[in-house]
């Protein structure tokens, strides 16, 4: 290592970990603005200089996109931000989005070598966000320009992160690309699922506009009902619909009014943020204002719901989760944010019944304890007999996860193979489904997962589709019968 690098880096022993300033909990819980301030350039450089530049960069190893994190941290420490952005965007189609919403505590930062040594992780996500936001403000984000023009076209079903990443990669190579989506705005859950306080929507819409300006066609408010027709219109198809069907809970009273799926609640809130008319919100069904709200679940979607309910003016917000804090599937950073903002976590609890006449009025809850590990390796909850209690709630939000819609039936494609859980089966080396020329990736293959994995699948699918179309273009024509 050069003396110059050692001077600029390896400062973790003398500099502590520092995040951008977080807005005071009481103030931020009253609006939907992002909760973190922006790094100043000198503070970003200072924090980047804490990187140990280790020989085996576990931050990169544990990033689904294999982002070259140590190198762009070094460039940031040296003040070479435009080069840092170029390196960051080379492996990631949406670095400013991942910098905001990736669970870095479970991925790159959670595996940082200096974190393991007790010095506190490098603030990778905040620096990634700073680099990318600076690139936008300085005009370093270049227009999408195809390397060449090709006649072949690709249809992409789903305008979420997997679909958008695939579309960009294919358009770069010169393919004609059309993206079909059921919603009236592109972005999928980036737009309608994730609240503004984690991801302000202008961050997504400027990415989408760049794709549109680069020649990608968006067919919105479009429900695909015939895969065969779509296949006839394009040389290849990529399915990236995500998983939207909410998992249900079986308990007496679950059919009462104002027991609602998480995604219905979040979509309504985000639409109101855009200024849309939303009948179910305006009627009060999906508005938490002045209500006692109970959210069932422990993942990131549940955290989005509890924090959204607070900002809508709920009287109280409780989170019902069957395991304890250490066993929550979501980001512990998001749990901490929710606790700071006033969410009451009911650890080791499970709904036994929902109470009320027409509208829900309360939840009968059984207390749990953790027993032996189950098949996943996590300790399985067991009920504590005689320890039930009632929680007042006039809005209950089910955030229990999502399953795939029945795509073979929905697309009129019975030969589209699915697994036991309903996700699409693909050849792992080609990402092709059981139908020739039809590829799939993201949550519809993985099950509900992270945005960063969806981007990775979109990029990998684009490479696989390119190989497929190149092979077809250069395949010898069939010989005429003699």
- Region 78-95: mean pLDDT is 97
Q: Residue 1: what pLDDT?
A: 46
Does pLDDT of 256 surpass 90?
A: yes
Does pLDDT of 6 surpass 80?
A: no
Does pLDDT of 55 surpass 60?
A: yes
Give the phi and the psi of residue 370 in degrees, each rounded to 5. -90, 130
Q: Residue 415: what pLDDT?
A: 97
% of the chain exceeding 70 in pLDDT: 97
User: Confidence band (pLDDT; 50, 70, 90) for 330?
Assistant: confident
Q: Residue 482: what pLDDT?
A: 46
Does pLDDT of 277 surpass 60?
A: yes
Q: Does domain 273-401 have CATH number 3.30.2290.10?
A: no
Does pLDDT of 12 surpass 50?
A: yes
Please state, in angstroms and rounded to a whole number, the distance separating the CA atoms of residues 88 and 44: 15
Structure confidence by residue, pLDDT tens digits, 341-372: 999 999 999 999 999 999 999 999 999 999 98
Please state, in angstroms and rounded to a whole number, the distance separating the CA atoms of residues 230 and 227: 5
Does pLDDT of 312 surpass 90?
A: yes
Give the fold, CATH level 3, of 3-138.
Fumarate Reductase Iron-sulfur Protein; Chain B, domain 2 (1.10.1060)
Neighbours of 342 (CB within 10 A): 15
Architecture of the domain delimited by 153-243+404-474: 3-Layer(bba) Sandwich (3.50)
Angle at the Cα of 453 (from 159 to 121), degrees rounded to 5? 130
Does pLDDT of 390 surpass 80?
A: yes
User: Confidence band (pLDDT; 50, 70, 90) for 331?
Assistant: confident
Does pLDDT of 481 surpass 60?
A: no
Residue 334 in contact with residue 288, Cβ under 8 Å? no
Q: Residue 34: what pLDDT?
A: 95
User: Confidence band (pLDDT; 50, 70, 90) for 211?
Assistant: very high
Residue 404 in contact with residue 444, Cβ under 8 Å? yes
Structure confidence by residue, pLDDT tens digits, 428-450: 999 999 999 999 999 999 999 99
Q: Residue 11: what pLDDT?
A: 74
Contacts of 478 (CB under 8 A, 6+ apart): none
Name the residue ranges covered by the structural domains of the chain: 3-138, 153-243+404-474, 273-401
- Region 221-243: mean pLDDT is 97
User: Confidence band (pLDDT; 50, 70, 90) for 377?
Assistant: confident
Tokens of 475: 């395949």
CATH topology identical between 3-138 and 153-243+404-474: no
Does pLDDT of 401 surpass 60?
A: yes
Can you give the pTM of this predicted structure?
0.93
Please state, in angstroms and rounded to a whole number, the distance separating the CA atoms of residues 83 and 418: 43
Q: Residue 444: what pLDDT?
A: 98
% of the chain exceeding 90 in pLDDT: 87
Please state, in angstroms and rounded to a whole number, the distance separating the CA atoms of residues 478 and 126: 56
Higher pLDDT, 72 or 3: 72
Residue 145 in contact with residue 123, Cβ under 8 Å? no
Does pLDDT of 174 surpass 90?
A: yes
Tokens of 155: 């249809």
Please state, in angstroms and rounded to a whole number, the distance separating the CA atoms of residues 286 and 312: 10
Does pLDDT of 191 surpass 70?
A: yes
Residue 161 in contact with residue 139, Cβ under 8 Å? no
């Amino acid at each position: 290592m050069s003396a110059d690098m050692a001077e600029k880096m390896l400062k973790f022993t003398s500099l502590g970990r520092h995040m951008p300033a977080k807005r005071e909990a009481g103030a931020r819980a009253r609006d939907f603005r992002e909760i973190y301030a922006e790094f100043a350039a000198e503070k970003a450089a200072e924090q980047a200089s804490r990187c140990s530049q280790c020989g085996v960069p576990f931050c990169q190893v544990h990033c689904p996109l294999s982002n070259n994190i140590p190198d762009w941290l070094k460039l940031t420490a040296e003040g070479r931000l435009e080069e840092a952005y170029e390196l960051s965007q080379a492996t990631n189609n949406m670095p400013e989005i991942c910098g905001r919403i990736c669970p870095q505590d479970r991925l790159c930062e959670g595996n940082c070598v200096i974190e393991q040594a007790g010095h506190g992780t490098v603030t990778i996500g905040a620096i990634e966000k700073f680099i990318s936001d600076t690139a936008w403000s300085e005009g370093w984000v270049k227009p999408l320009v195809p390397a060449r023009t090709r006649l072949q076209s690709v249809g992409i079903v789903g305008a979420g992160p997997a679909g958008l990443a695939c579309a960009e990669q294919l358009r770069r190579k010169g393919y004609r690309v059309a993206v079909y989506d059921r919603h009236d705005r592109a972005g999928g859950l980036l737009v309608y699922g994730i609240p503004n306080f984690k991801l302000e929507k202008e961050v997504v819409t400027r990415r989408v506009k760049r794709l549109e300006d680069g020649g990608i066609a968006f067919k919105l408010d479009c429900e695909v009902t015939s895969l065969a027709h779509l296949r006839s219109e394009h040389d290849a198809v990529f399915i990236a619909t995500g998983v939207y069907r909410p998992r249900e809970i079986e308990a007496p009273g679950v059919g009462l009014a104002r027991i609602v799926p998480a995604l219905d609640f979040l979509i309504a809130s985000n639409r109101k943020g855009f200024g849309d008319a939303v009948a179910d919100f305006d009627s009060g069904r999906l508005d938490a204002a002045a209500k006692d709200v109970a959210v069932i679940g422990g993942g990131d979607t549940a955290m989005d719901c509890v924090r959204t309910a607070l900002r809508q003016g709920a009287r109280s917000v409780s989170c019902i989760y069957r395991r304890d804090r250490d066993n929550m599937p979501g980001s512990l950073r998001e749990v901490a944010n929710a606790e700071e903002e006033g969410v009451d976590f009911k650890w080791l609890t499970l709904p036994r019944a929902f109470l009320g006449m027409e509208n829900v009025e309360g939840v009968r809850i059984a207390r749990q304890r953790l027993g032996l590990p189950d098949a996943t390796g996590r300790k399985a909850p067991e009920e504590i007999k005689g320890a039930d209690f009632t929680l007042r709630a006039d809005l209950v939000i089910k955030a229990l996860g999502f399953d795939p819609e029945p795509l073979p039936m929905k697309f009129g494609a019975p030969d589209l193979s699915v697994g036991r859980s309903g996700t699409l089966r693909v050849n792992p080396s080609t990402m092709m489904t059981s139908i020739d020329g039809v590829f799939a990736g993201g949550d519809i293959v993985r099950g509900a997962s992270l945005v960063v994995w969806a981007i990775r699948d979109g990029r990998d699918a684009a490479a696989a589709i390119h190989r497929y179309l190149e092979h077809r273009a250069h395949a010898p024509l069939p010989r005429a019968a003699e």
